[in-house]
């Protein structure tokens, strides 16, 4: 499918030199604003990201991804959370951007330079998009944690595990993920002192052979319908604890993701959806330089 960003200035009341075009996409319900800044400097700032992330006064998203030119990968991606903070990695956003650029250039693979490193993405024969999120980070200092502890058994009630996937994750294995009060427990855990950079929080239950039900609280975003890096971290922790193999299916609130922990990194595969194209007005942009 070929996507074009077709915006009518007449519909927005702006001239064609003002404002800013964007796309809205989601991967398994994990929703994103995507700004294509190839051929120009980055336009996103913390105030603008927070304003756009407001679901009442802006556009609303879990994360924002900005596409930029790059000398190493095919493109560079910069990620922002809905509260205006930066995100080092975003797996589902990477898959959405990969779907967009591969649909435009006719290729079946693409690479992105991110804070996480160089990520490779491809389109499978079944049309789903995969991204290699790189090797998991299990060293306490690199996750990072505030002190040297066993990353698979943190000294926190509930015996969670910690895994880094370009951002920190705290994974709780629970009997029933549906019974967890994610807003309460996630918010309480996000800024636990053991995580100096705060953390994403996952709650996962084993529901079958190599199958997990997972719900998530994302750092800087709150409850989301899916989290790609969180799914990767949960699958890694589940395998390291002996609960699953290295190929795991995770059922999230917004859809299903497939995780395959290979020698070259943790691959994540799932659906993507281009929802709509939009246009930020010059008036809106002027308020958030």
Catalytic choice (90, 96, 122, 232): 90
Average pLDDT over residues 260-270: 97
pLDDT at residue 10, rounded to an integer: 35
Q: Is residue 14's pLDDT more than 60?
A: no
Instruction: Give the least confident one: 14-23, 210-219, 253-262.
Output: 14-23
pLDDT tens for 65-74 read 999 999 999 9
| pLDDT band at 89; cut points 50, 70, 90 | confident
pLDDT at 13: 42
CATH 3.10.310.10 domain extents, the chain: 9-131+272-287, 161-263
Instruction: For the chain, give the mean pLDDT.
Output: 93
pLDDT tens for 147-160 read 999 999 999 999 99
- Give the gyration radius of the chain's Cα atoms: 19
Quick check: is 90 catalytic? Answer: yes
Please give the CATH superfamily to which domain 9-131+272-287 belongs. Answer: Diaminopimelate Epimerase; Chain A, domain 1 (3.10.310.10)
Is the pLDDT at 20 greater than 80, yes or no?
A: yes
User: Prior bond to 144 cis, omega within 30?
Assistant: yes
pLDDT for 220 beyond 90: yes
Residue 138 catalytic? no
Q: Which fold has domain 161-263?
A: Diaminopimelate Epimerase; Chain A, domain 1 (3.10.310)
The DSSP annotation for the chain comes to --------HHHHT--TTSSEEEEEEEETTEEEEEEE-TTS-----HHHHHHHH-TTTS---SEEEEEE--SSSSEEEEEEETTS-EES--HHHHHHHHHHHHHHH--SEEEEEETTEEEEEEE-TTS-EEEE--PPB--TTTTT-SS---TTS-SSTT--EEEESSSEEEEEE-S-GGGS-HHHHHHHHHT-TT-TT--EEEEEEEEETTEEEEEEEETTTEEES--HHHHHHHHHHHHHTTSS-SEEEEEETTEEEEEEEETTEEEEEE--EEEEEEEE-HHHHHH--
Q: What is the pLDDT of residues 93-144, one digit of tens each?
A: 999 999 999 999 999 999 999 998 999 999 999 999 999 999 999 999 999 9
Give the model confidence (pLDDT) of 167-218 as tens digits: 999 999 999 999 999 999 999 999 999 999 999 999 999 999 999 999 999 9
pLDDT of residue 279: 96
Given the residues 96, 122, 170, 227, select the one marked as catalytic: 227
pLDDT at residue number 1: 36
pLDDT at res. 17: 58
| pLDDT the model gives residue 6 | 43
Q: 130: which strand partners?
A: 122, 269
């Amino acid at each position: 499918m070929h996507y074009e960003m077709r915006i009518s200035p007449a519909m927005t009341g702006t001239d064609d030199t003002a404002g800013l075009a964007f796309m809205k996409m989601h991967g398994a319900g994990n929703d994103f604003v995507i700004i294509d800044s190839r051929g120009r400097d980055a336009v996103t700032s913390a105030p603008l990201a927070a304003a756009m992330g407001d679901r009442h006064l802006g556009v609303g998203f879990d994360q924002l991804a900005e596409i930029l030119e790059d000398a190493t990968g095919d493109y560079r991606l910069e990620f922002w959370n809905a509260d205006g903070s930066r995100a080092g990695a975003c797996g589902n956003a990477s898959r959405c951007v990969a779907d967009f650029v591969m649909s435009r250039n006719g290729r079946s693979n693409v690479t992105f330079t991110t804070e996480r490193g160089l990520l490779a993405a491809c389109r499978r024969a079944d049309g789903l998009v995969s991204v290699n999120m790189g090797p998991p980070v299990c060293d306490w200092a690199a996750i990072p944690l505030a002190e040297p502890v066993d990353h698979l058994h943190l000294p926190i009630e509930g015996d969670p595990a910690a895994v880094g996937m370009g951002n920190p994750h705290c994974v709780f294995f629970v009997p029933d993920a549906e019974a967890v009060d994610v807003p309460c427990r996630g918010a309480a855990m996000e800024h636990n002192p053991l995580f100096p950079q705060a953390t994403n929080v996952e709650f996962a239950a084993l529901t079958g052979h190599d199958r997990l039900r997972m719900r998530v609280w994302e750092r800087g975003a709150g409850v989301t319908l899916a989290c790609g890096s969180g799914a990767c971290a949960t699958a890694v922790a589940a395998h390291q604890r002996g609960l699953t193999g290295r190929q795991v299916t995770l059922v999230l609130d917004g859809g299903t993701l497939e995780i395959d922990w290979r020698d070259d990194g943790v691959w994540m595969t799932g659906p993507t959806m281009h929802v709509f194209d939009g246009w930020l007005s010059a008036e809106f942009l002027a308020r958030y330089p």
